[in-house]
A and B are shown apart, each in its own frame.
Chain A
Amino acid sequence: MNINPDEIFDTTSFNVDREPHIVLDTEICKKCDQRACVNACPARCYTWSEEDGKMTFVHDGCLECGTCYVVCARDAFTRWRYPRGGFGVSYRMT
């Protein structure tokens, strides 16, 4: 048994909204020396590429937990809200 956040759609249901509920100003991430979002996000939505010096954020498999909202040291979000009604993660059992 193994949890692989890259295969999160196998174990968690989503109704993905095309309009992202979190919008990141990745220019701010370039200047950040912590990037706690990368390791702390339980769904691995944040990826930092050392090669390109670039942060990538994908909202599809977001668990809406709020970890990034709390750990971001730079207030890098131009938007952080919950998805529109009916969209986003859907727990069936939990």
Chain B
Amino acid sequence: MKQSFDAIVVGAGPAGSSAALTMARAGLKVALLERGDFPGEKNMFGGVLHRLTALEEAFPDFWNQAPLERHIVKKSLTFMTGESSFNVNFDTEASDRPPYNGYTIYRPRFDRWLAEEAVKAGATLLTRSTVDDVVIEKGKVVGVTMLRDGAELRAPVVIAADGVLSFTAKKAGLRRPKFDPSHQAVGVKAMVDLPKEVIDDRFGLVRDQGASNEIVGCTEGVRGGGYLYTNYDSLSIGLVLHLSSLSQSGKTPYDLLNAFMKQPQMAKMLRGGRLLEYSAHLVPEGGYEMMPEIVGDGILVAGDAAAMCIVTGLNLEGINLATQSGVLAGKAAVEAHAKKDFSRAGLAVYRRMLEESYVLKDLKLYRRTPGMLHNDRIYSQYPEMVCGLMDEIYRIDGAPKDTMTKVLLRAAREKVGLKNLLADVYSGWRAL
């Protein structure tokens, strides 16, 4: 069986569906391929859906249409040790009105909705369609074949939006065949059932307000961090662990997650909850440094497949970049159709549009942060230093006190070392 389309999109995640939506609205005949039973079935993230400015153009009242859980009004950063935690909170009314700055979502619901919008615009969604290979003729990608029945789909342009491992980009020769484990992290997550009222009380929220919490120091020295997010009537709690560090540690993701959930301050937040779902997924944390070629003859790469991920330690961005890149890839394909030029040069407008948008600007700006975060001191010594410092400041034990400066210097010297502290401040300043 051979079928022809104007464009084929591999992967109905945020990048793929955004591309399909853009092209379908422009009148192209688009095939949107999804290997799951439904879009979003295979997707998870440990995260906040940041504001999707690209989709606000497609859906002017995005927040009224998309299936969202809560909008984030309260963001906090926590330094944690086995028994204590030090919190920094940012709570703002500005995030409590549209356009909201970020949301929690369920991927199986959100991704499905976005794909259905692409279908409403005219795209053909083909689920249970795992792509096996790309079809190359005269050096150009002209289609894909399917794993299940060997069916072949043809189109002058293919958009690879097939996620972090992007076998489509690999088969088109656009990405390196082997990944560097220091460029990838694995996210593991537990969904915990809790009534809405309990969540509201525990986190100090009303209506659909949500909270997000990033945690450093909960990974037993493995490079990575933890998170806790409020959905409407459940919590998402998980860890993101760098693969090179996790491999060397000999520790397992589930033991680390179990210990994290039992840490006293976290256990209080989860109390009374029931485990609903356990999930895992890779995160392309290498960002700009691990990006593949994103334009080839007859092919474009978008979203996680193009490693469009920004990690600063305070924020983890991905879906916003994915939807933006998907929209731009769609626009580039539409332009290529107008010019009837699907060569690498003809499709290069995609790269130019990305360079002009925040996507490549931000990826380049934060290209040094993944390297900075490969500093083991961040994951145990600094949380111990901060919590130890607070403990000493607050503790009343009958002994005379030192000046705060002395306490601070002593904690820094004992836990981190002053030379290290200076070096880390410098590398942090350069990277952020």
Binding site for B on A (CB under 8 A): 1-5, 8, 11-12, 15, 34, 36, 39-44, 63-67, 69-71, 75, 81-86, 88-94
Contact = CB atoms under 8 A, between A and B. Distances in A.
Interface residues of B, number: 58
Interface string B2-42: 00000000000000000000000000000000011100111
B128 A65 contact: no
Contacts of B274: 1
Interface of B: 35-37, 40-44, 106-108, 127-130, 132, 146-148, 164-165, 167, 178-179, 181, 184, 186, 188-192, 234, 236, 243, 246-254, 257-258, 261, 270, 273-282
B191 A93 contact: yes
Nearest to A12: B278
A89 to B, nearest CB: 7
A91 B253 CA distance: 19
B390 to A, nearest CB: 28
Given A39-B247, A85-B146, A94-B44, A3 B184 contact: no
Contact of B35 (A8, A44, A82, A93): A82
Nearest to A69: B165
Given A1-B270, A85-B35, A86-B128, A94 B279 contact: yes
Max chain B CB contacts within 10 Å: which of A12, A34, A71?
A: A71
A1 B258 CA distance: 8
B46 to A, nearest CB: 10
B130 A12 contact: no
A88 B181 CA distance: 24
A2 to B, nearest CB: 6
A40 B275 CA distance: 22
Name the prevailing secondary structure of the B interface residues: mixed
Contact of B243 (A40, A43, A83): A40
B128 to A, nearest CB: 3
B184 A70 contact: yes
Given A81-B147, A84-B130, A91-B42, 7 more contacts: A1-B270, A4-B254, A63-B281, A71-B247, A82-B35, A82-B42, A90-B37
Contacts, number: 145
A93 B1 CA distance: 35
B108 A65 contact: no
B41 A91 contact: yes
Given A1-B273, A44-B252, A91-B44, A66 B165 contact: yes
Contacts of A4: 254
B239 to A, nearest CB: 10
A94 B246 CA distance: 23
B37 to A, nearest CB: 5
Given A67-B186, A90-B37, A5 B254 contact: yes
Max chain B CB contacts within 10 Å: which of A8, A36, A43, A65?
A: A65
A39 B252 contact: yes
A51 to B, nearest CB: 19
B127 A85 contact: yes
A85 B128 CA distance: 4
Contact of A85 (B147, B181, B184, B190): B147
A93 B247 contact: no
Nearest to B167: A81
Given A70-B179, A85-B146, A91-B43, A12 B277 contact: yes
Given A67-B243, A70-B179, A93-B277, A1 B251 contact: no
B280 A63 contact: yes
Max chain B CB contacts within 10 Å: which of A3, A81, A93, A94?
A: A94
Nearest to B146: A85
Contacts of A65: 186, 280-282
Contact of A42 (B108, B186, B247): B186
Contacts of B129: 85
Given A44-B254, A91-B42, A63 B247 contact: no
B230 to A, nearest CB: 14
B282 A94 contact: no
Nearest to A37: B247
Contacts of A86: 35-37, 127-128, 148
A11 B254 CA distance: 13
